[in-house]
Structure 1
Amino acid sequence: MVLKKDTDYESNVLSFNLQTSDIIPAFPYIAPFSSAVPDTCRIVRSFIKGSVDYLSHGAHTNYYDVVRKYLDKLLIDVLNEVILNTIQSGNIGVSQAMQIAANISVLERACDYFLRHAAQLCRIPIRSVERPQASLTAKVVLKTSRDEAYLALLKFVNTKLDEFMALTENIDWTMEEMPQNGNECINEVVIYFDTLMSTAQQILPLDALYKVGSGALEHISNTIVSTFLSDSVKRFNANAVMGINYDLKMLENFADERFHSTGLSEIYKEGSFRGCLIEARQLINLLSSSQPENFMNPVIREKNYNALDYKKVASICEKFKDSADGIFGSLSNRNTKQSARKKSIDTLKKRLKDFN
């Protein structure tokens, strides 16, 4: 929503206490929410006034609780239902899901304004509605809908990332020469991710920005590992591993840059975007290692490969062309024992079930 002058800012932002700073911005100002937000606030404000006017002519002497009850009902049964139906309709894309998430965040803040406005019209002390326990139930419900919007947004983003990556199609898994750089598809992934984060940074709060960024990078990591496990990849060699290692380094460097440039590093001091790629990184480190058998050492495995699932590693190692029956043999044998043990447990479960 573009606000061209201070009067627009007054009527669409200040009048509903939607501002995040006391400083008046320069104009034209691009608000992080769409026009649906102030339009909704006007409807709700009119509903509050109409409710108070109606109840003030009745026998009620303290009708604030009644106004609050029906305000909650309006926000939950009408507004929230409309938002959820829009999210679940399947007719929105990445930009719409992102804008809906941003709008809900602002509407959550507006709930406090709605309560204060109701209290003012009912002529009760404002401080009585500023206690945490006095907040609207709708504020909690809207937060749940915001999470739903984040999930929808991530679903769209991950689907687009899958289109760009398509690793089984874009990578030669048995390349004869060692690559000099990464795979072309990762460049497209980085460009898309950069555009996504730049847009999200303009309208989403930082906690939402972190969820979107970390969710997308975790999906990339999962996709890399899943591709190694895929039936479409029958065999692979060290050169293919080297190419993906280049890809990961590019993604990790970009993740670090984005994490710091967005200001997320100041809030999430214990976290990072790079950490979202940890499973793929540990797998590539293992496949690139000169002593992969160290994976069998519990101490080393916990220190260097704690994000890796043992069975996944065993299945992937079976496909490593450069070492079919060599250094990864112990993993394959151990996997066979694990399968035999699982079969025994399944038989035991069946017999116990028959016994009962």
Structure 2
Amino acid sequence: MDSLNRQIEMLEKEHTYYEETINLRKKQFHTLLVSADEILYSIKQNREGKEYEWIKALDELTEDLTQDDETDIDDNEDDKEDGILEDKENLIDNDYVKIDFKPLYQCLHIYDVLGESLELKNSYEEIRRQQASSILTTPFSLKSKDNLQTFKTYINDIVGFFIIEYIVMNSTQNFRSKVWIDSLWELTINKTRDNIALQLGDCESTDLFLEIKNIVIVFIQTLESFNYTVTKLLDLMIILFERYSRLLKQQYSSQLSQLIQNEDFIPMVLNSADEYEKLLNAYTLQENSEVILQGFPRTLEFSKSFPESCIIVKTFIQKFYQFIQGFTQNYGEMDDLLKKSLDSLLLDDLNGSLMRKMKNKSIKLTQIVQIYYDMEFYIKACDEFEQELSRRKSSKTSSDINLAHIKTKFIDSQKMAEEKIFDIINEKIDMFVDLSGYNWMPDKASTEPSSYIQDIINWLETIISTTLTNLPESIKSFVYFDAFNHLSSSLLKYLTQQTSGTQKMNIYFVETIDKDVANIESFIESLNNPMILDCFTELRQIINLLLSPNPENFLNPSIKNRLYYSVNIHPLIILLEKLLKGHENNKIALMFNNPLDYNRRKNIENLIRVLKQQYSEQLMRQKELLVEKSQKQANKNLERVFDKR
């Protein structure tokens, strides 16, 4: 009986010992759980040193712990485990983090002996679920750098939580369910992705975006190394990248637009070698040795906005690729985003701003010419932009970004600048013609060419030799051609106008116009440019016909084809009628010196009658052709309808 009492007393003491041990292990285990948030700091420190060695150490630890039998923990295994944890690269035992898993393993052993393993497992899962919920509902902000620490804390807590889950699951048997952890991980990444995407709406700093990106990349790479699925987090990086690129594009678009808007478009002047070096950082200037030896100051062909634009574009590319650094996936999507953003920056903002500047009604000829020169350099700069893209792109990107279509747009814009040059010159010519001050009914013909004609010639010579001096010879020749062609058209339009005071003219007025046109023709011949010689052909032939004593010869096909082949019927009718009205008071005058005698008037009247008939027939024929064309098109449309049926 005494022996039985001693055994009962011994069992009671053992039960008390185990109960105290369980409570102690529970406290130690709780300490283990609340230490999770310290792990990420260790991760960060180790990544800043030897990037992946700590992962190798952790893998060795996990392999050893997995091989251990938790039901047979002895001093040898503890020594082996301690040896691994003492390694300086060990994730869970270093100068910053010390987490001892032995209390957990001992708890597992004790609960297993007591047959209460399920209770511990359920209790552990509930605690971890509460901890996960607490972490995911932790508020953070991405509005400014001052709020960034709240985001770091949020990410650190998640990383620490799931690293512990990984270690515990792989170092125990049937304690942690992979399905349960994967389910919790899925919930976590969905919630994390949504939270970050929501908070990014408040972020307006590209530099802050880069810091956020770096934190998220470490987050992804860390948990991926622990075999967690990170596909949805990579999708988050695309969301982050899209918003970053949009913000970056907005920032540099504003800079480009403001730069072009404030540009005066005058040639850039280099005043020192330092300015020259800064210029070379923006654009590789191709100069021969003679130009370089000229020293400073030195005037360049382009305006100062050109190199500044190049710096903005290159900085944009650099900032873009700064974000991509650290990625190992999704290069295709990011290249597509870069291409779209760069296209928009170069086409909508740079080229678009230049186009809007050219369309400004107050722009000067010198500014348009400068834009033309700048466009030439923007076309060349596309090659440097391509080189910058190629230099910075990842080796994982298979193809280069080609900017040939950007060059084409710049070439089109340069042609528009060329056309704008012609338009401004033509507007100036129109102004000269409008201020010509012709007397349509003079008492006698002028003995000298009109002064405005000489003003036009002098002005054209001046702008060709100064403002347009650096343009290609082909364009300068075309400037002359377009200017004189427009002057000829303007004079003919001026002569055929039907406004008050211009509805009649006399022969002396025609002789004055003849002298002015002859002066222009003389200047054109001095240019020795065959392309310009025919600009005044129609006007010259009309004047010759008006001055001819036999205007009826126009109806003779052989004479017309030889002398009046460029004359159109309609303006000729108007001018002949004006000439008749100018001499209507001389209908029955028989004086020898009458500038428009009776027979000549009759010939002109007959000519007008025949020309009007021809013009009417011409209009009728054009109308018939138009109806015929419309009918053919209607028949084709009907045939298509029947074919579809």
> Under a length normalisation based on structure 1, what TM-score does the superposition of the two structures give?
0.77
2:570 aligns to what? 311
2:605 aligns to what? 329
Q: 2:406 matched to 1:138?
A: yes
Q: 2:424 matched to 1:153?
A: no
1:235 aligns to what? 504
Deviations 1:277-306 (A, max 9, x none): 333333333334454433333444344434
Deviation at 1:13, TM superposition (A): 6.7
Secondary structure at the aligned position of 1:177 is classed as: coil
Aligned letter for 2:461? D
1:268 aligns to what? none
Deviations 1:166-212 (A, max 9, x none): 26x52223323332220111122122222222234234344543443
Q: 2:469 matched to 1:202?
A: yes
Secondary structure at the aligned position of 2:374 is classed as: helix
CA distance in 2 between counterparts of 1:286 and 1:22 reads 60
Structure 1 residues 56 and 14: alpha-carbon distance in aligned structure 2, compared to 1, 3 A threshold: closer
Structure 1 residues 10 and 292: alpha-carbon distance in aligned structure 2, compared to 1, 3 A threshold: farther
Aligned letter for 1:247? D
**Residue 57 of structure 1: which of 326, 331, 343 is its match?**
326
1:64–1:118 CA contact under 8 A, matched in 2: no
2:342 aligns to what? 71
Aligned letter for 2:299? I
Secondary structure at the aligned position of 1:31 is classed as: strand
Q: 2:378 matched to 1:110?
A: no
CA distance in 2 between counterparts of 1:142 and 1:46 reads 20
Structure 1 residues 6 and 220: alpha-carbon distance in aligned structure 2, compared to 1, 3 A threshold: farther
Deviations 1:230-284 (A, max 9, x none): 1142223333233223322332343454x56xxxx6xxxxx52333333333333
Q: Does 54-63 or 157-166 show the bigger shift?
A: 54-63
Secondary structure at the aligned position of 1:32 is classed as: strand
Structure 1 residues 29 and 158: alpha-carbon distance in aligned structure 2, compared to 1, 3 A threshold: same
Structure 1 residues 53 and 218: alpha-carbon distance in aligned structure 2, compared to 1, 3 A threshold: same
1:161–1:189 CA contact under 8 A, matched in 2: yes
CA distance in 2 between counterparts of 1:289 and 1:113 reads 64
Deviations 1:93-150 (A, max 9, x none): 33322322332232222222222332233388xxx97xxx954312222233233333
Structure 1 residues 336 and 254: alpha-carbon distance in aligned structure 2, compared to 1, 3 A threshold: closer
Aligned letter for 2:538? E
Q: Does 85-94 or 187-196 show the bigger shift?
A: 85-94
Deviation at 1:224, TM superposition (A): 0.9
CA distance in 1 between counterparts of 2:559 and 2:377 reads 48
**Residue 24 of structure 1: which of 266, 270, 291 is its match?**
291
Aligned letter for 1:3? L
Secondary structure at the aligned position of 2:531 is classed as: coil
Query: RMSD of the TM alignment (CA)?
Result: 3.8
CA distance in 2 between counterparts of 1:156 and 1:105 reads 20
CA distance in 2 between counterparts of 1:305 and 1:20 reads 53
State the percentage of identical aligned residues: 24
CA distance in 2 between counterparts of 1:195 and 1:13 reads 34
CA distance in 1 between counterparts of 2:280 and 2:507 reads 58
2:489 aligns to what? 222
CA distance in 1 between counterparts of 2:302 and 2:462 reads 19
1:165–1:189 CA contact under 8 A, matched in 2: no
1:273 aligns to what? 532
Deviations 1:314-342 (A, max 9, x none): 22122224557344334311233146547
Q: 2:505 matched to 1:247?
A: no
1:87–1:97 CA contact under 8 A, matched in 2: yes
Q: Does 2-11 or 224-233 show the bigger shift?
A: 2-11
CA distance in 1 between counterparts of 2:562 and 2:383 reads 48
Q: How many residues align?
A: 337
2:390 aligns to what? 119
2:355–2:413 CA contact under 8 A, matched in 1: yes
Q: Does 49-58 or 11-20 show the bigger shift?
A: 11-20
1:13–1:19 CA contact under 8 A, matched in 2: no
1:67–1:118 CA contact under 8 A, matched in 2: no
Secondary structure at the aligned position of 1:325 is classed as: helix
Q: 2:408 matched to 1:166?
A: no
Aligned letter for 2:605? G
1:108–1:139 CA contact under 8 A, matched in 2: yes
1:296 aligns to what? 555
Deviation at 1:223, TM superposition (A): 1.0
1:33–1:106 CA contact under 8 A, matched in 2: yes
Structure 1 residues 67 and 277: alpha-carbon distance in aligned structure 2, compared to 1, 3 A threshold: farther
CA distance in 2 between counterparts of 1:21 and 1:256 reads 37
Secondary structure at the aligned position of 1:234 is classed as: coil
Structure 1 residues 274 and 36: alpha-carbon distance in aligned structure 2, compared to 1, 3 A threshold: farther
Q: Does 283-292 or 20-29 show the bigger shift?
A: 20-29
CA distance in 1 between counterparts of 2:302 and 2:559 reads 49
CA distance in 1 between counterparts of 2:358 and 2:525 reads 31
CA distance in 1 between counterparts of 2:287 and 2:550 reads 54
2:269–2:300 CA contact under 8 A, matched in 1: yes
Structure 1 residue runs of 5 or longer lacking an equivalent are 266-270
1:102–1:205 CA contact under 8 A, matched in 2: no
CA distance in 2 between counterparts of 1:21 and 1:302 reads 55
2:311 aligns to what? 42
1:91-106 alignment runs, 5 A limit: 91-106=362-377
